[in-house]
Structure 1
């Protein structure tokens, strides 16, 4: 199947209707520029007639010279009680001054009667006059047939007639929308084939699928197999309710598996970067299990799997992760065998063979610690330190002799004041004892401040690092407040981030373990760089 498909991204409009997914005006500009770099053909910037932010976006984006993408403004057909040339919504679309305009109209009789509160014939007139009014003023005009598949199931003759009116009035592409996301692939194929019979093979049509039945990507691919020339969706599948068709899955499926060409396919190694960039701007965690671009997409945990991919990655990977800008990851857990350890050791700069006795020791220690509640998948810095310790490295840089945390509330109205006092010896055993105190926002923050204060005189490079994330998980076992807890800490400096772990019945002790591991890893890594 060798043909070209246009990719239409609606992250900035349809995507922002998702819960908790919000972008400022500046964010929207940055996302648009990133999508342009990826090679997206059309970027739907918003609905200029609905809110001031979208109107400002269209004004500001004109100051940027896009390399490939064309900006589209989105809106509805005109109001039933107005004519096209007097409708504020259509005027706002033209005032956006975009080369592309996309308008949606009603395909489903229930929406015409109940939402628009008009007659079926009047709706056809509205579609036709809206398209005719816009046609002379834009380079490209797309017509989104809202709720098309549901409308076709209820009244196929009417649903097809709405398309006929839009096409006859000058629409460049008829986009069939599964707005409620309930259509299954076999239904979609049957309906598209019937539409093509009725309207003729010369029509240009696209697909806009929602994911309420978890079929948005499949429906989009089947529509393309049936002749769609445009596919609409969002990055990472964000969108209202269960989301939209995920372009991060659609694009690599088209390019790598279906032989379909698109401009974004030329930049496929940037796909993971763009996917994560957008979630970072929205201040949301990037879902690990996203196909192609998620951190877990090429993660291997079982020992049998890892042993096989060491021989040949294709045994447990459907594509090479580098094709979409992702990386292979081998996880270490109580399911690990020697293959996992050897692979991870190689990533840490250690050349070990599966026959090396130390590998057996590492496997045994990992399984023992995981039984106690440790988890190394998100704490690879702790795993690296464990491996080096069993090999006689790294050295201990300091010794925590003791700590105390005191919560104080001076008055009923006053803020809680938390003070931590620590004693450390640098270097361990024979060195100087430093006794310091510090306050913080909560006990862990106070402990972090106090330990750093004690250590920075000896190791000033610790000022470069900061704690980025802190998570506590109550572990199964002892019920109630006597349960063990696992603390995961993510730290960062100018060169990258790392994760460490601590486990204890005492949340402060678990936090202290993870903190100490984090400082130790920073010092150990800096020393390695100097010696390299």
Structure 2
């Protein structure tokens, strides 16, 4: 078998991460995204835990999923309950999910100290729970909890648990590295032993990241014979997280040569990663491999010079293979190569005089507090201004921001803005939650009549950094704004001793970049 099954547990294990809570609608949106991506299994949640989890399974049945099977998660039956009356097994069946994933204890310490039953009784729980769910027509994934720790302590018993589940008809036996404390060598050797000893079911792997080895451990298990891998998008999960499918999947495909997902799916990987981050309200991790915003970012002039000659010099794969994009960063450390590379899209990559002017301008501006690494849209506008191709899309006449606070603590923020567009004057007033929000709203009121596509744009991040802290309240501040529309994300920057003015500069760049970008795309 050269194909690896991908089992996503973002909606159950991922939701156990600190600070993460998905609504029912969130879970349905993610499930649809994962199905479009093409994962083999979507673990919908712990069916017996609450009404929202059960509601997900019932709603998911109407999503019209084309690629993925929904799995209901639960435990083997309790020692004190019959199969028909056990709450966990009943919930899995009531979920109507076609796949049942049940957790069984495979570490003898957990059997005697947590379940508090005999080792033989636990074998019966694992066996008859599996057989019961199989008799109901379900595909059964048996998760052997704490398997690796259990194997190290009592290998004979841990293997007996797997044998019991296999004999009862389990389709997949997944070895769970639940505490996340193993290293790849141990995972490989133990998985190899299991793959040689257990015939019939597919062997799977489920790793946690407590030693920062979850991805490496998952790949080691695949090399040892596992053909089913569990993980979460972006590595979300309890404690330090689960194995990150955004790294595992491209490693399996591009580094190890396995068949995963459907043809062309990996070109959506970065999109899937960012979609889940946004729904989870997670701060993006810029340096995440493959899908991070910095995964293919290059700053050193020496590197950029080499990349312009051969992209393989400093990139292990092409960013397009995972739906990401190359970034050539501009800073005071940049060399001519960085600027020339940026000019490539204008067919000016050989204009060294222009590149020198740009580099001098960047270094001058950065000495005054600007920073373009996270503000490539502002840099793009700077190129146009230096080239003489920049045409102002709107002109500021004046703005005024007023913040009032009553003695009772009530606050009102109002922005008045006067702009001209193609000779027409717009003079509007708007209220907001704060000065930047009020300015943003006033600009939209002024400009959307002329540029309707601005309705698609929204501000997604706003950062303020003091540039020269020793100047105290008179210090310059740098404001960086991240904006997005349906297709793109871009950053802009403004610097001033006045935080509102710095914000205005970054906002203005953001609006202008959007207007110019849309005009170019419509040609």
- Contact persistence 2:467–2:478 (CA under 8 A): yes
**Conservation of the 8 A alpha-carbon contact between 1:4 and 1:261:** yes
Q: TM-score, normalised by structure 1?
A: 0.90
**Other-structure match for 2:381:** 385
Is contact 1:408-1:418 (8 Å) kept? yes
Taking a change above 3 Å as real, the CA distance of residues 480 and 152 of structure 1, as seen in their structure-2 partners, is farther
Matched position secondary structure for 2:343: helix
Name 2:481's counterpart in structure 1.
489
The correspondence for 2:411, drawn from 416, 426, 429, is 416
Partner of 1:468: 459
Tell me if structure 1 keeps the 8 A contact 2:448–2:454. no
Counterpart in the other structure of 2:433: 441
1:309 aligned to 2:307?
yes
Q: CA deviation at 1:155?
A: 2.0
Mean alpha-carbon deviation: is it higher for 287-296 or for 306-315? 287-296
Q: 2-side partners of 1:251 and 1:351: how far apart?
A: 36
Alpha carbons of structure 1 residues 238 and 162: separation in structure 2 relative to 1, 3 Å: same
Q: Which secondary structure does the structure 2 equivalent of 1:130 belong to?
A: helix
Name the stretch that deviates more: 82-91 or 216-225.
Answer: 82-91
Counterpart of 1:254 in structure 2 is 252
What is the Cα deviation at residue 104 of structure 1?
0.5
Number of aligned residue pairs: 522
Q: 1:458 to 1:50 in 2, by over 3 A?
A: closer
Instruction: Verify the 8 A CA contact 1:255 1:265 in the aligned structure 2.
Output: no
User: Could you list the per-position Cα deviations for residues 497-516 of structure 1 after superposition, in whole angstroms to 9, with x for gaps in the alignment?
Assistant: 54221112221221122233
Are residues 211 and 424 of structure 1, via their aligned partners in 2, closer, same or farther at CA, if it must alter by over 3 Å? same
Greater Cα shift, 381-390 or 459-468 = 459-468
Matches for 1:82-481 after TM superposition, within 5 Å: 82-196=81-195, 199-200=197-198, 204-264=202-262, 266-347=264-345, 350-396=346-392, 400=396, 403-413=399-409, 415-421=410-416, 438-450=430-442, 456=447, 459=450, 464=455, 466-469=457-460, 470-475=462-467, 477-478=469-470, 480-481=472-473
Q: Secondary structure at the match of 2:32?
A: helix
The aligned counterpart of 2:53 is 54
In structure 2, what is the Cα distance between the partners aligned to 1:57 and 1:422?
A: 47
Which is worse superposed, 174-183 or 258-267? 258-267
Deviation of 1:425 after TM superposition, in Å, equals: 6.9
1:521 and 1:42 map into 2 onto residues whose CA distance is 41
Q: CA deviation at 1:393?
A: 3.2
Does the 8 Å contact 2:189/2:224 carry over to 1? no
Find the aligned partners of 2:394 and 2:227 in 1 and give their Cα distance: 64
The Cα shift of 1:320 comes to 1.5
Q: Deviations over 1:4-61 (max 9, x none)?
A: 2211111111111112333222222232222222221122111211111221122222
Distance 1:276 1:443, change over 3 A: closer
Q: What root-mean-square deviation, in Å, do the aligned CA atoms of Structure 1 and Structure 2 show? A: 2.8
Question: Do 1:232 and 1:245's aligned partners in 2 also have CA atoms closer than 8 Å?
Answer: yes
Kept in 2: contact 1:77–1:105 (CA 8 A): yes
User: How far apart are residue 179 of structure 1 and its match?
Assistant: 0.6
Contact 2:192 2:225 in 1 (8 A): no
Counterpart of 1:513 in structure 2 is 505
SS at match of 1:287: coil
Q: Is the 8 A contact 2:339 2:355 kept in 1?
A: yes
Contact 1:462–1:519, Cα closer than 8 Å, also in 2:
no
Q: Aligned partners of 1:310 and 1:67: how far apart in 2?
A: 42
Separation (CA, whole Å) in 2 of partners of 1:499 and 1:451? 18
Matched-pair contact (CA < 8 Å) for 2:454–2:515 = no
Task: Say if 1:67 and 1:504 are closer, same or farther in 2 by CA, change over 3 A.
Answer: same
Query: What is the distance in 2 between the residues matched to 1:159 and 1:78?
Result: 18
CA 511–92 in structure 1, closer or farther in 2 if over 3 Å, else same: same
Give per-residue Cα distances to partners, 1:272-293, cap 9 Å, x unaligned. Answer: 2222222222233432222112
- The C-alpha deviation readout for 1:405-426, integer Å capped at 9, x for no partner, is 332223415x212234556677
CA contact (8 A) 1:105 1:144 kept: yes
Unaligned runs of 5+ in 1: none
Secondary structure of the equivalent of 2:241?
A: coil
**CA distance in structure 1 between the partners assigned to 2:224 and 2:200 by the alignment:** 13
CA distance in 2, matches of 1:45, 1:457: 41
